[in-house]
């Protein structure tokens, strides 16, 4: 019998001072059985960094044809394609051909650095691709914020992302690789 996705509900309050975007979003997240709490919360962070009424979660990890998040225009064109992790060159080439803008958020410090060293030069040819590394600062793990029902405050300013559930705080740093 196949394992089913676990459903999480999140109310996120975003204060993005870099984009002057301040809003609350009720989110429903389906965590794939092979997905970790950390990766699921990184999807929430990616949502917060690009928050828009048209931005939505996709099948992501369980689909080859869809990213983790995307934003489509009213005419169903893909305006923004967001990937988490270390996608291969073929997947990124296809994404860059389909979407106006593609953002990759690699994580997992050691493997992300190796992935970038091996592929970074090849990715330079994609004009509509951005690669932004997310790194945790401090000793509170991002996965500790994961709850079936969660309320998170996310503040974004000058490359720093602060997440809080009212009890625990996690700080992430963005580093633009491309």
CATH number at residue 35: 3.10.640.10
Is the pLDDT score of 28 beyond 60?
A: yes
Q: What is the pTM of this model?
A: 0.92
Q: Does residue 138 fall inside a structural domain?
A: yes
- At residue 8, does pLDDT exceed 90? yes
pLDDT in tens, 41-79: 999 999 999 999 999 998 766 566 789 999 999 999 999
Summarised one tens digit per residue, pLDDT across range 74-94 is: 999 999 999 999 999 999 999
pLDDT of 164 strictly over 60: yes
Would residue 1 count as lying in a domain?
no
Report how far residue 55's alpha carbon sits from residue 25's, in angstroms, rounded to the nearest whole number.
Answer: 11
> Can you read off the two tokens belonging to residue 164?
């809080």
Does the residue 65 lie in any domain?
yes
| 43 domain-assigned | yes
Lowest mean pLDDT among 45-54, 59-68, 134-143, 152-161: 59-68
In the chain, the number of structural domains is 1
Predicted confidence at residue 66, as pLDDT, reads: 87
Residue 64, pLDDT score: 67
d(C-alpha 169, C-alpha 94), whole Å: 37
In 3-state terms, what secondary structure has residue 59?
Answer: coil
In the predicted structure, residue 1 carries a pLDDT above the cut 60: no
Given a cut of 90, is residue 150 above it in pLDDT?
yes
Q: Is residue 80 part of a domain?
A: yes
What range does the domain containing 119 cover? Answer: 6-176
Whole-angstrom CA distances from 100 to 47, 56, 71, 79 are 17, 16, 10, 5
């Amino acid at each position: 019998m196949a394992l089913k996705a676990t459903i999480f509900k999140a109310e996120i309050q975003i204060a993005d001072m870099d984009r002057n975007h301040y809003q609350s979003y009720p989110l429903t997240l389906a965590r794939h059985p092979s997905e970790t709490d950390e990766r699921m919360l990184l999807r929430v962070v990616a949502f917060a960094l690009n928050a828009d009424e048209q931005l939505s979660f996709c099948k992501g990890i369980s689909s080859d044809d869809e990213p983790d998040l995307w934003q489509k225009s009213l005419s169903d064109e893909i305006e923004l394609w967001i990937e988490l992790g270390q996608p291969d060159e073929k997947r990124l080439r296809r994404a860059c051909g389909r979407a106006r803008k593609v953002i990759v958020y690699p994580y997992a410090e050691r493997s992300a650095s190796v992935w970038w060293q091996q592929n970074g030069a090849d990715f330079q040819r994609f004009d509509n691709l951005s690669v932004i590394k997310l790194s945790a600062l401090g000793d509170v793990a991002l996965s500790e914020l994961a709850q079936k029902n969660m309320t998170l405050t996310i503040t974004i300013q000058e490359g720093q992302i602060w997440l809080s559930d009212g009890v625990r705080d996690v700080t992430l740093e963005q580093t633009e690789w491309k």
